[in-house]
Amino acid sequence: MALKIVKGSIDRMFDKNLQDLVRGIRNHKDDEAKYISTCIDEIKQELKQDNIAVKANAVCKLTYLQMLGYDVSWAAFNIVEVMSSSKFTYKRIGYLAASQCFHEGTDVIMLTTNQIRKDLSSPNQYDTGVALTGLSCFVTPDLARDLANDIMTLMSHTKPYIRKKAVLIMYKVFLKYPESLRPAFPRLKEKLEDPDPGVQSAAVNVICELARRNPKNYLSLAPLFFKLMTSSTNNWVLIKIIKLFGALTPLEPRLGKKLIEPLTNLIHSTSAMSLLYECVNTVIAVLISLSSGMPNHSASIQLCVQKLRILIEDSDQNLKYLGLLAMSKILKTHPKSVQSHKDLILQCLDDKDESIRLRALDLLYGMVSKKNLMEIVKKLMLHVDKAEGTTYRDELLTKIIDICSQSNFQYITNFEWYISILVELTRLEGTRHGHLIASQMLDVAIRVKAIRGFAVAQMATLLDNAHLLTGNTQRNGICEVLYAAAWICGEFSEHLEDPMQTLEAMLRPKVATLPGHIQAVYVQNAAKLFATVLRKHDGETESQAAQETSQLLIDRLPLFVQSANLEVQERASCILQLVKYIQKLQQKNVEVAEEVTALFAGELNPVAPKAQKKVPIPEGLDLDAWINEPPSESESEDEKPKAVFAKEEPKHSRSRHTEVDEKELARRREVRKQEQANNPFYIKASPSSQKVYDAPGVEHIPVVQIDLSVPLKVPGMPMSDQYLKLEVERRQKEKAERKKKEKKKKREKRGKERKADSGPESEEDITPAHQVDIVTEEMPENALPSDDDDKDPNDPHKALDIDLDKYVPYCRHLQFIHVLHIVYDIQGNHQDESKVVVSVIFENKSDSFLKSMEFNVLDSLNSKLQRPEGAGAHDSLTVPFQLPPGQDTHAFLFVSSVSVSIVAVCIDCFLMQSDESSTHEKLDFKLHFTCTSYLITTPCYSDAYAKLLESGDLKGSSLRLEGINMPFHHLLARICFHHHFSVVERIDSCASMYSRSIQGHHVCLLVKTTVSIDAKCDEPSLLGNVLDEIKQTFSKC
Amino acid sequence: MIKAILIFNNHGKPRLIRFYQYFAEDMQQQIIRETFHLVSKRDDNVCNFLEGGSLIGGSDYKLIYRHYATLYFVFCVDSSESELGILDLIQLICFFVSVCVFVETLDKCFENVCELDLIFHMDKVHYILQEVVMGGMVLETNMNEIVAQVELQNRMEKSEGGLSAAPARAVSAVKNMNLPEIPRNINIGDINIKVPSLSPF
């Protein structure tokens, strides 16, 4: 034996410690993985030793390896062993390792419950501290349920070091076990006024986290926080509180009004930038919540903008960044005050820091108006040219498009300008947003009917110069633009000046190098163009040109027929055959133009992206119901797809089974026709009725007035600039005209009230260059109103949405009308088992200030109020606080008591009526001590539990709970929480639970999922009472 | 909430990682790589906030970091934390590390937190961190309080004899001499004694 010990300690001398491991890894740079695997083998050996120091050392090394990415979950059990060491040094290593690698899936975690409980109640505060810290990282719902009570007790520990940790960890407990929030909340609230600043800060922290997710439940704390805000000097606490107010103000505008002044004072007085920034942020939130109806807050807005300007002008990049961030919040409600700083923001676009440039871009997005859009975009285009690095340039590109297209092209007055901007953007090399530009082109061309002529001309130029764009054929590259160009030219080919030329451009051999989907569009639209060319030459006696076109197609299309892309191939061969047939007809001098055109007749309307989702489900249609009998179990595997089909397409499968008579069929055909007629994507069967090509009058297309006196393209100057110039001129002209008109008006209607729109160039004054009707996207009829519920159903905070102002159902309350509302809860005292703790919440219900309060218990043989030393047996206890009206507070009383059920209490209240006079009220009430109050959650191991049951000292009784339909673990959790039991063991459908009374009586429960409870106890009267109480708890829910 | 604290060097080697939300080891490494990739390509004179880490959290989360000589200190936080506050906190932690781990030098110049110190005392740095941040929330920011608590715990560890008792230290000194490897295990019956490596004469 002695030899073994000697051997152990000699071995230890040569074990690597953490430093050796690190050094070793550094010395084996070339074969690190191999070295580490030998180290892991050594560690495995060390973990087999009995010596706890060796094990701790090994675990310490594992923690390091875990950081390097090695899975160490195999050592979880050893970690638990080290955690349960009695030495602080080892315990700390164990908990550190556990906090790094334990999680909800770690199965050994359930072994730790009792160990952690032991550590939590350890006399050494650092053992408790280490356990709390570790637990905060790996707390599971089970641990939270079992330990909630212990941690709640620690919240009133004597040492602030423990208190603050216990308070902070409660947040994690709430997340995992939401039921604990309600009972813990009063104590948590009380900690907001803890004498120790650390505890206070922890409580603020927890409540802020809670309130951020469910702010409405915490509105009642606003006065308390308000008090803290004006009194605290800790910047961390202040920042948290101010952030919290930011979340609360949208719910309660009155709060916002109160906040403005103290926040403004803080902004003026503080030297800490972090605090200043948060104040500004919250003032902004307040102003947003107050909305525009409060003109007298313009001073606050000015102050904020002014302070933010200082931040943005600072040389510190961080302040600049945050300044821009906050500015963008102001922008949403007070765009005018930000717009005056446009210079500063444009300046930030030149900053060397990309994040700042991106922020500035975000701001610009909100700053545009009809008036300045062109100017801002021009600046951005300059930056695009200058920008280094494709990421930033791409970002600029998307921003330009975002800015222009926002809220349905609201700010664009001249779509010709926008199209030319888009065309200019295609000249960017190496962009990855070809697709974006393409979709914009399509969008504008489809929705803005007036622009089609111009767009088609531009697109035709693009197609003509396609070689410039095909250099980069990667996916999403700029060549995507050709997709849009080809489609627009094809679809709106009636606007083309020279369709033949475009057709030629689309059938160049070079096209075959483009991506397949673009080629497919080329081929399809070549056919459309073909139809247009035919129409153009329709009626001409000499059909030479038409025949040449057919020949061109017949010559070029075979190239596409050979394409590797299936779709290109399919379309090309289809169209090739068609053209060959047409050629034959042409040679016989048959008029074909009209029929060919009919192939592509019909208008394509834009459809809203959500349209499909919004189609309401017809009444009486249950998509989940079986249409047919569900397939029997024995059905073979390969029949399954059929079953799925039957489920997804109910209509078809039904028609298979039901007898359909002729009438019904005819009716359905009618319905289908009707549907198709309304479907924009269905090419109509009767072309003559819906032909677009020869029915120009149908659409009321507004006349586009292009000022042809100005050439569309100016050599050496980007086109869009020309538009800017034009626009300025146009506006000036308009203004002049308007002035003339106004003068006229004035002359005519002198003395009459002038209209309000005479301000210099207000937003409304700018009329669009041409009448543009933006086609709105189609939505199904009777679409459901928007119900974008974006809330994540898995959000753990959802469960914490508990209205805390509703009083706790299982705490007893007493109400003395008009004076006091008292809620109390009784618990056994862990430290001193002859005592119980009565925690009481007093709420002042009266209108007057509660100056002082005295609390007295009529001592009896069995119960005694614990009074300060030196006090007489009948002296009252003065409650150490005063209560303003409407507020509540929390107090603890210690009562030495053994098995009493009722304690008589007397309270003397001194209410302040006015400055001098006060009234006195005497309130008597009784505290009902339940048996549960005398039960103390005590851990019990399953073997000890089995022994206890075998001993035969216990008497049994049982109880059936009716009408309970909660999950089993909730049921257990309730019993644990409300009746101070702990789960000993849980096997599938039943669980054994244990608790002990302060007099040492054992209570054992066997709870089954059938909601029957078998109980055993060595004290029959206790047993009966506990069961009664459990029954009561569950009858309440 | 703080979601993660990552410390890595200029080459992306992790020196200390602390996740306050569970991720499997390979995911953790991926996050470190991604974060390093984002942070390392930024100049030193740009702002210390960064959005766009795709692996943790999503849109509500941002990275706040500081770069000291060879080390990056990165905090991944959500919108409930004050950006400037966290920057101060990072500075504070660096200061504690230099004060608490290397008491002998008491190098108040926290800008010089040496990477080597951190590597060899990862556990100690963790213990300091635990006094500042707990479960993703800031626990304490009072400098004196933190230093005092860490000191008291270290003293407790010392009184228990520490992890490695004196003899082990002596041996590790021998091992530090970096001698060529010679077989160290000699089996005598059932006693397995390891012999220190000695320089071959």
How do the domains of chain A map onto residue ranges? Answer: 1-101, 813-929, 937-1035
> Between chains, do A352 and B48 touch, taking CB under 8 Å as contact?
no
Contacts of B36 in chain A (CB under 8 A): none
CB-nearest to B47 from A92, A206, A355 is A355
* E-strand stretches of A829-880: 835-844, 849-857, 863-865, 877-878
- Facing B46 at nearest CB: one of A136, A202, A317: A317
Are the C-beta atoms of B63 and B38 separated by less than 8 Å? yes
Residues A225-246 have a mean pLDDT of 88
Helix residue spans in A681-810 (DSSP H):
687-690, 719-748
Distance CA A362, CA A350 (A): 14
Q: Which amino acid is at A508?
A: R
A937-1035 has which fold? TATA-Binding Protein (3.30.310)
Helix (H) or strand (E) holding B15: strand B14-19
User: How many Å lie between the alpha carbon of A282 and the closest alpha carbon of chain B?
Assistant: 12
Question: Mind listing the pLDDT tens digit for each residue in A745-780?
Answer: 555 555 444 444 444 444 444 555 555 555 556 666
Interchain proximity A209–B137, CB inside 8 Å: yes
**ipTM tops the 0.85 cut:** no
- pLDDT, averaged across chain A: 76
Cα A289 to Cα A253: distance, rounded to the nearest angstrom? 6
CATH class of A813-929: mainly beta
C-alpha angle A1004-A1009-A1010 in degrees, rounded to nearest 5: 105
Chain A residues with CB-CB distance to B155 below 8 A? none
pLDDT of residue A129: 93
> Chain B contact for A154, CB < 8 A?
no
**From CA B120, how far away is CA A64, in angstroms rounded?**
10
On whether any CB of chain B is under 8 Å from the CB of A9, the answer is: yes
Lowest mean pLDDT among A385-389, A782-786, B16-20: A782-786
Beta-strand ranges (E) seen in A886-954 are 888-897, 902-912, 918-928, 935-936
Q: Which residues contact A56 (CB under 8 A, 6 or more apart)?
A: A82, A85, A89, A90, A93, A94, B163
The arithmetic mean of pLDDT across residues A933-937, rounded, is 76
Which residues of chain A does B47 touch, with a Cβ-Cβ cutoff of 8 Å? 317-318, 320-321, 353, 355-356
pLDDT level of residue B198 (50, 70, 90 thresholds): very low
Residue A650, pLDDT > 50, answer no
Burial of A681 (0-12, 13-18, 19+ CB in 10 A): exposed
* Beta carbons of B139 and A165 less than 8 Å apart: yes
Nearest to A136 among B135, B140, B162 (CB): B135
Q: Of A21-35, A201-215, B166-180, where does mean pLDDT reach its minimum?
A: B166-180
How many CB pairs below 8 A link A and B?
185
Q: Which residue of B has its CA nearest to A22?
A: B120
Nearest to B147 by CA among B199, B184, B191, B95: B95
Contacts of B191 in chain A (CB under 8 A): 3, 7
Residue A181 predicted with pLDDT over 80: yes
Give A785-811 as a 3 state SS string. CCCCCCCCCCCHHHHHCCCCCCCCCCC
Contacts with B164 from chain A: Cβ below 8 Å: 17, 57
For residue A493, pLDDT over 70 is answered with: yes
| Mean per-residue pLDDT, A856-868 | 66
Crossing angle of helices A452-464 and A480-491, in 10° steps, is 130
- Inter-chain residue contact B85 with A236, CB threshold 8 Å: yes
Give the separation between CA A744 and CA A1025, rounded to whole angstroms. Answer: 96
B71 pLDDT higher than 90: no
pLDDT tens, position by position, A280-292:
888 888 887 776 5
What confidence score (pLDDT) does residue A62 get?
A: 93
Q: Is the per-residue pLDDT at A8 higher than 90?
A: no
Distance from CA of B201 to the nearest CA of A (A): 22
Q: What is residue A64's predicted lDDT score, i.e. its pLDDT?
A: 92
CB contact under 8 A, A17 and B152: no
* Neighboring chain B residues of A391 at a CB cutoff of 8 Å: none
Q: Which residue has the tokens 């006015």?
A: A914
A:335-394 residues touching chain B, CB 8 A cutoff: 352-356
- Residue A11, classified by CB atoms within 10 Å of its CB into exposed (0-12), middle (13-18) or buried (19+), is middle
Chain A, residues 995-1024, CB within 8 A of chain B, namely none
CATH code given to domain B2-162? 3.30.450.60
Q: What is the pLDDT of residues A569-610, one digit of tens each?
A: 999 999 999 989 888 888 887 777 788 888 887 777 777 777
Name the residue facing B49 among A18, A93, A355 (closest C-beta).
A355
Q: Max Cα separation, chain B?
A: 66
Q: What are phi and psi of A789, to 5 degrees?
A: -90, 95
Residues of A in contact with B178 (CB under 8 A): 27
Cβ atoms of B107 and B79 within 8 Å: the answer is no
Q: Is A223 on the interface with B (CB under 8 A)?
A: no
CB-CB under 8 Å, A169 with B135? yes
Which residues of chain B have a CB within 8 Å of the CB of A273? 84
User: What is the reported pLDDT for A684?
Assistant: 44
Q: What span, in angstroms and rounded, lies between the C-alpha atoms of A503 and A537?
A: 15
Q: Which region among A418-432, A455-469, A820-834, B148-162 has the lowest average model confidence (pLDDT)?
A: A820-834
pLDDT of residue A350: 80
SS3 content of chain A, % helix, strand, coil (to 5): 60, 10, 30
Residue A998 pLDDT exceeds 70 = yes
Higher confidence at residue A351 or residue A172? A172
Of A68, A169, A243, the CB nearest to B14: A68
pLDDT at B197: 42
Q: A455-459 long-range CB contacts below 8 Å, 24 or more apart?
A: A455/A419, A455/A488, A455/A492, A456/A488, A456/A489, A456/A492, A456/A493, A456/A495, A456/A496, A457/A495, A457/A496, A457/A497, A458/A419, A458/A420, A458/A423, A459/A484, A459/A485, A459/A486, A459/A488, A459/A489
Confidence of residue A202 (pLDDT cuts 50, 70, 90): very high
Mutate to test the interface with B, among A22, A133, A200, A241 (most CBs of B within 10 A): A133
- Tokens 């860490």 belong to which residue? B150
Identify all chain A residues contacting B145, using CB atoms and an 8 Å cutoff. Answer: 198
Q: Virtual CA dihedral for A591, A595, A596, A601, nearest 10 degrees?
A: 140
User: Do residues A178 and A799 make contact, with C-beta atoms less than 8 angstroms apart?
Assistant: yes
Rounded distance between C-alpha atoms, residue A310 and residue A280, angstroms: 12
Give the minimum alpha-carbon distance from A275 to chain B in angstroms, rounded to a whole number. Answer: 8
Distance CA A982, CA A131 (A): 19
Contact between B168 and A15 using a beta-carbon 8 Å cutoff = yes
Q: Judge whether A791 is closer than 8 Å to chain B, CB to CB.
A: no
pLDDT beyond 70 at B97: yes
Q: What is the DSSP letter of A208?
A: H
- A197 at interface of B, judged by CB pairs closer than 8 A: yes
pLDDT > 90 fraction of chain A, expressed in percent and rounded? 11
Please indicate whether, in this complex, the C-beta atoms of A136 and B145 are within 8 angstroms of each other. no
pLDDT band at B55 (very low <50, low <70, confident <90, very high): low
Question: Does A17 contact B168 at a Cβ distance shorter than 8 Å?
Answer: yes
Q: Which DSSP helix (H) or strand (E) runs through A972?
A: helix A968-979
> What's phi and psi for B160, nearest 5 deg?
-85, 0
- Test mutation, B134, B185, B195, chain A, max A CBs within 10 A: B134
- Res B190: pLDDT: 40
CA atoms within 13 A on the CB side of A701: 17
- Smallest CA–CA distance, residue B178 to chain A, in Å, is 10
Instruction: Say which range, A428-432, A877-881, B9-13, has the weakest mean pLDDT.
Output: A877-881
A615 pLDDT more than 90: no
Best B130, B156, B177 residue to mutate vs chain A (most A CBs within 10 Å)? B130
Burial (CB count within 10 angstroms: exposed 0-12, middle 13-18, buried 19+), residue A716: exposed
The closest CB to that of A56, out of B139, B163, B196, belongs to B163
Q: What share of chain B is helix, strand, coil (3-state, %, to 5)?
A: 40, 20, 40
Is B139 close to A168, i.e. CB distance below 8 A? yes
Which chain B positions have a beta carbon within 8 Å of A201's beta carbon?
138, 140-141
Question: Which of A60, A89, A274 is opposite residue B85, by nearest beta carbon?
Answer: A274
Q: To probe the interface with B, which of A1, A3, A9, A14 has the most B CB atoms within 10 Å?
A: A14
Q: Which of A25, A61, A89 to mutate to test the interface with B (most CBs of B within 10 A)?
A: A89
Using 50, 70 and 90 to split pLDDT, how confident is the model at A917?
low
What's residue A96's pLDDT?
Answer: 94
Residue B32 to chain A, least CA–CA distance (Å): 10
Cα of B80 to nearest chain A Cα, Å: 7
CB A218 within 8 A of CB A192: no
CB contact under 8 A, A69 and B139: no
Tell me the shortest Cα–Cα distance from B108 to chain A, in angstroms: 22
Angle at A373 between CA A717 and CA A347, to 5 degrees: 85
Query: Which residue in A197, A235, A318 is closest to B49 by CB distance?
Result: A318
Q: Is A895 helix (H, G, I), strand (E, B) or coil?
A: strand
Q: Where are the domains of chain B?
A: 2-162
CA distance A432 to chain B (A): 18
pLDDT (0 to 100) of residue A892: 61
* A950-966 pLDDT, tens digit each: 877 777 888 777 777 77
Lowest mean pLDDT among A782-786, A997-1001, B7-11: A782-786
B9 or A539, greater pLDDT = B9
pLDDT of residue A794: 60
